[in-house]
Homo-oligomer: A and B are copies of this chain.
Amino acid sequence: MVGRKLVERLTRDGMLAGEGISHVVLADVVEPTAPTAPSFEVEHAVADLADPGVAHQLLSGLPDVVFDLAAVVSGEAEADFEKGYRANLDGTRLLLDSVRAAGTGYRPRLVFTSSIAVFGPPYPEAIGDDHGTTPLTSYGTQKAIAELLLSDYTRRGFVDGVAVRLPTICVRPGEPNLAASSFFSSIIREPLNGREAILPVPDDIRHWFASPRAAVEFLVRAAEVDGEALGNRRSITMPGVSATVAEQIEALRRAGGDDAVRLIRREPDERILRIVKTWPGRFAAERAQALGFRAEASFDEIVRVYVEDELGGRVGADP
């Protein structure tokens, strides 16, 4: 979803990091969605980065910027241990080694999408930029390892890497899914579309959010940020909005009224609560702020972005 929106954004801008875009290679394990009327050449590839030789071939045009968004998501990496390590660790390492193998003259900006899943409890009141990565999932472990590789390959001069630790993206468009985090989006999206949503956790659960639009903005900013300013610390926790479920619901009320809020059905789910309780609630993302990464200022703004980008600015209509 973020990848698709990134391509839309690049198509609209025609520029990245101050330069015109001439050529884009889109690679995914399924057929990637083609952008509409791009001003640049587009190549498609259906390929698995974890297969030997694939990364080498994808880099044959020596792109100036590489976005590494591919990942086996959290739930799947937990369910299928080997698949997760293969995609999220071996795939990224093969990509880094392919950049390295291209030779000393080639040092592209590589933007890696990491996640706040690299963190684990106990947390301080606000998690600082020096806080250690003690993930509680295999997915978070794989992201934390990829961050370390990216920093070391950068320090050695093989690549110019930036890892952005994305907040939970909210409001996700589309259908509710089986991810434990799905309800954070559902309880806003479904009522705004006149449909019922299920809330499996108490109202005082606090979490860290940014909109899909902000996520794309993070990636674009990561492509252009000054590498020297990052020094050897190439992993950056992105800014976001810290909100409780109660605060989410009040933002929904302001956007969609009491009728929307009445569509939230409380159905406590111990399994989901057990997972969500281990997630971070608030970051002091000072480095990111200083480096010019910007997120929404409130959960109201996150709701507004959803209404603008997904509902054409109108609340309450069926899409």
Contact = CB atoms under 8 A, between A and B. Distances in A.
Given A132-B130, A133-B132, A148 B152 contact: no
Given A145-B149, A149-B145, A132 B135 contact: no
Pick the most buried of A134, A138, A149: most chain B CB atoms within 10 A of its CB: A134
A148 B149 CA distance: 12
Contact of A135 (B133, B138, B148): B148
User: Which range holds the interface residue count of chain A?
Assistant: 20 to 34
Contact of A132 (B120, B131, B141): B131
A148 B155 contact: no
B156 A152 contact: no
Interface string A124-145: 1000001111111010010011
Say how many copies of this protein the assembly contains. 2
B148 A144 contact: yes
A193 B152 CA distance: 40
Contacts of A144: 148
Contact of A155 (B130, B136, B155, B232): B136
A75 to B, nearest CB: 15
Contacts of A120: 232-233
A115 interface: no
A82 to B, nearest CB: 9
B131 A133 contact: no
Contacts of A136: 155, 232
A151 interface: yes
Contacts of A134: 151, 232-233
Interface in A220-250: 232-233
A40 interface: no
Interface string A141-181: 10011001101100110000000000000000000000000
6 contacts: A120-B233, A124-B130, A134-B232, A136-B232, A141-B148, A141-B149
Given A145-B145, A145-B148, 14 more contacts: A81-B156, A120-B232, A120-B233, A130-B132, A132-B133, A133-B133, A134-B232, A134-B233, A135-B152, A136-B155, A138-B152, A141-B148, A141-B149, A144-B148
A-B pairs, top 6 by smallest CB distance, nearest first, are: A141-B152, A132-B132, A145-B145, A141-B148, A130-B132, A144-B148
